[in-house]
Amino acid sequence: MGNEAIAEGAIRAGVAVATGYPGTPSSEILETIAKLRPDGIYAEWSVNEKSALEVAAGAAIAGARAMVTMKQVGLNVASDPLINLNYIGIKAGMVVIVADDPGPISSQNEQDTRRFGQFAKLVVFDPSTPEEACAMVADAFECSEKIGRPVILRPTTRVCHSYASVELPPQLPRLAPEGFTKDDGRWVIFPRLAYKNKPAIETTLRRLSKELTLYSGITGDTKTMGVPGKGIVAGGVSYRYVLESFEILKERGFGDALQNVRLLKIGTIPFAEHLGFVFLDGLTEALVIEELDPVIEDALIRLSGLYGKRVKIRGKITDDLPLAGENTVETIVKSISNFLCLSNAGDTSGCDIPETTAETPSFPVRPPVLCAGCPHRGAFFAVKEAMAGRRAVFSGDIGCYTLGNAKPLDMVDTCLCMGAGITIAQGLDRAEHDAVQFAFIGDSTFFHTGVSGLINAVYNRANIVIVILDNGTTAMTGGQPHPGMARTLMGTAAKRISIYDLVKGIGADDIQRVNPFDTAIAKAAAERAADLKGVRVIIFEGPCVNIVPKGNVLTVLSEKCRNCGICVRKLGCPAISQIYDGADGKIDIAIDETLCTGCGICRNVCAFDAIVPRNGGEVK
What secondary structure, in 3-state letters, does 131-158 show? HHHHHHHHHHHHHHHHHCCCEEECCEHH
pTM to 2 decimals? 0.89
Q: Angle at the Cα of 486 (from 484 to 492), degrees rounded to 5? A: 135
CA dist 226 → 277, 284, 309 (Å): 13, 10, 11
Strand-strand pairing, 285-289 and 312-314 = parallel
Asked if residue 440 lies in contact with residue 412, where contact means CB atoms within 8 angstroms, the answer is: yes
Which pLDDT value is given to residue 222?
Answer: 47
Domains and CATH numbers, the chain: 2-210 (3.40.50.970), 217-340 (3.40.50.920), 375-541 (3.40.50.970), 554-613 (3.30.70.20)
Question: What's residue 490's pLDDT?
Answer: 86
b/e 80-115 (16+ beta carbons within 10 angstroms → b): ebbeebbbbbbbbbbbbbbbbbbbbeebbebbbbbb
| Residue 191: Cβ-neighbour burial (10 angstroms; 0-12, 13-18, 19+) | exposed
Q: Count the residues in the chain.
A: 620
Counting as low any pLDDT under 50, the low residues of the chain are 222-227, 345-354
Rounded-to-integer distance, Cα 568 and Cα 587, Å:
12
Q: How far is CA 540 from CA 179, 378, 511, 620, in A?
A: 45, 9, 11, 16
Backbone angles phi and psi of 464, in degrees to 5: -145, 160
What was the pLDDT predicted at 359?
A: 67
Residue 396 near residue 370 (C-beta atoms within 8 A): no
The number of C-alpha atoms within 13 Å of 32 and in the hemisphere containing its C-beta is: 17
* pLDDT value of residue 582: 63
DSSP state of 405: G
pLDDT tens digits along 65-101: 999 999 999 999 999 999 999 999 999 999 999 999 9
Peptide bond between residue 25 and the one before it cis (omega within 30 degrees of 0): yes
Q: What is the pLDDT of residue 585?
A: 65
Helix, strand or coil for residue 513? strand
For residue 367, how many other CB atoms are within 10 A of its CB? 7
Q: Would you call 22 helix, strand, or coil by DSSP? A: coil
